[in-house]
Chains A and B, each alone.
Chain A
Amino acid sequence: MRIRCPFCGERDVHEFTYLGDANGTRPDPSVADAAEQFHDYVYLRDNPAGPHREYWYHGAGCHGWLVVERDTRTHEIRSVAFAHEEAAQ
């Protein structure tokens, strides 16, 4: 598996560290059911068989956090973007 880092170019997966699902949004701690929302945010996953948006960290390269869309059935990578750019959209 190789990931095309937007800054460094295509690199071996060895250079990256995996964090996991990139779809979660950190809940607002001030809402009434914050404890329940944090449980879902921290512990539950969609875990799909198919396209999956996920965070990777390019620790042996540019130190950038990436959002990668990858098919969990084939490991095919469909898109790669910087996480901060995704968040800004």
Chain B
Amino acid sequence: MKYSIFSLAANALTGHKGWKPAWRDASPREAYDVVIVGGGGHGLATAYYLAKEHGITNVAVLEKGWIGSGNVGRNTTIIRSNYLLPGNIPFYELSMKLWEGLEQDLNYNAMVSQRGVLNLFHSDAQRDAFARRGNAMRLHGVDAELLDRDAVRKMLPFLNFDDARFPIQGGLLQPRGGTVRHDAVAWGYARGASDRGVDIVQNCEVTGFRIENGRAVAVETTRGTIRARKIALAVAGNSSRVAAMAGLRLPIESHVLQAFVSEGLKPLLPGVVTFGAGHFYISQSDKGGLVFGGDIDGYNSYAQRGNLPTVEDVCEGGMALMPMIGRVRLLRSWGGIMDMSMDGSPIIDRTPVDGLYLNAGWCYGGFKATPASGWCFAHLIARDVPHPAGAAFRLDRFATGHLIDEKGQGAQPNLH
């Protein structure tokens, strides 16, 4: 069913009894051309673009829980392409362009809202670093504006401009950045893929791989063995665990990242704001809740929940930036498990096992990357050639020295 004002009106007049499930909950068949492990945003986007852009529709997406139960439903919904390094900027800008056309492409309302992302700076040195980042973005055709203190004050008069330690001096604004309703991204891609023949198989956990003569030929699952010509992993958070079943050791640590939402408030924040003197980012959802987060807890974790010192640290950042937040009650907090890679950048590549493809290492940046990740991964799986926008995200870059270390931290994942 195509969603439109007419389908809405027709269903409104018939008591909304005509709506069908948006996608098909399939049972696994014995064999597929491509099996994608992981029914999150990246896996579903990969399936959608495999079907739509490459005509490969004999595809299954295997999800151990329900689709969207992992990080695509746990992030803070921010999209942006304000990167510095050559390997990153074209990729994230491709993602931004795909976000801009996503709802028309999918015929699904993902509430893509380009309300702007503002990164605040608090010193002359930080202003210079942000100016450099803005210039790099503009050289790649990405929008960026350096705002002075007065321009920020006009936009966000309630911020704590005269904090004794971290006075706000200005900010780097990407007007095309913003937020997207994250669950709708999973559902929209699932619907688009399912309509083109992709099987979406839930409650189907992969328990092993069958590898013959160095080639992956099947996945063992809790719902039986499924043969595949190609097997693609999109299981960020658990990439090390799943890859280990195929005998691979990855340049990844799993870490927990917490996120928070307050009670609903009247419209307050026009866009996304980040604090430059600590790690704190905040936006307001369309329901009115303030959605915010900060650093990862900083130690290996698969627990999907964090500890109180990080909660305190995030809230201190919020209080330093906008003291009025102290009067708001916190509604919920939760954790998601991040694939923290050794240089802070992702991996979209083949693996040493023939027929096994890897999409991993998204660190904090997975949600905003969803469309381009699916686009580039589908291209790699279909053609066995990396897409130019994702060609730098190689698995062997740590051995060859072609690292993409946006923060310059080295192989210490909890600092990226």
Residues of A within 8 A of B (CB): 1, 12-14, 18-21, 36, 39-40, 42-49, 52, 54, 70, 72-75
Closest to A44 in B: B249
Given contacts A39-B399, A43-B411, A46-B240, 8 further A-B contacts (CB under 8 A): A20-B412, A44-B249, A46-B249, A47-B254, A48-B241, A54-B299, A72-B302, A72-B303
Q: Is chain B's interface secondary structure helix, strand, loop, or mixed overall?
A: mixed
Main secondary structure of the interface of A (DSSP, over half): mixed
Instruction: Return the contact of B307 from the options A40, A47, A75 (Cβ within 8 A).
Output: A75
B309 and A13: CB pair below 8 A? yes
Q: Which residues of B contact A43 (CB under 8 A)?
A: 251, 342, 398-399, 411
B90 to chain A, nearest CB (A): 25
With A39-B399, A45-B240, A47-B253 known as contacts, the answer to whether A13 contacts B301 (CB < 8 A) is no
For the complex formed, measure the closest distance between the CB of A38 and the CB atoms of chain B, giving whole angstroms: 10
Q: A74–B303 Cα gap in the complex (Å)? A: 6
Is there an interface contact between A72 and B301, defined as CB atoms closer than 8 Å? yes
Within the complex, what minimum Cβ distance (angstroms) separates B348 from chain A? Answer: 17
**21 A-B contacts (beta carbon < 8 Å):** A1-B307, A13-B307, A14-B309, A18-B298, A20-B300, A20-B412, A36-B399, A39-B399, A40-B249, A42-B411, A43-B399, A45-B240, A46-B240, A47-B252, A47-B253, A47-B300, A48-B241, A49-B254, A54-B300, A72-B254, A72-B300
Contacts A47-B253, A75-B303 hold; do A18 and B240 have CB atoms under 8 A apart?
no
**Distance A45 CA – B412 CA, assembled complex (angstroms):** 11
Task: For B303, list chain A residues within 8 Å (CB).
Answer: 72-75
State the Cβ distance, A56 to closest chain B Cβ, in Å: 8
Contact of A47 among B240, B299, B414 (CB under 8 A): B240
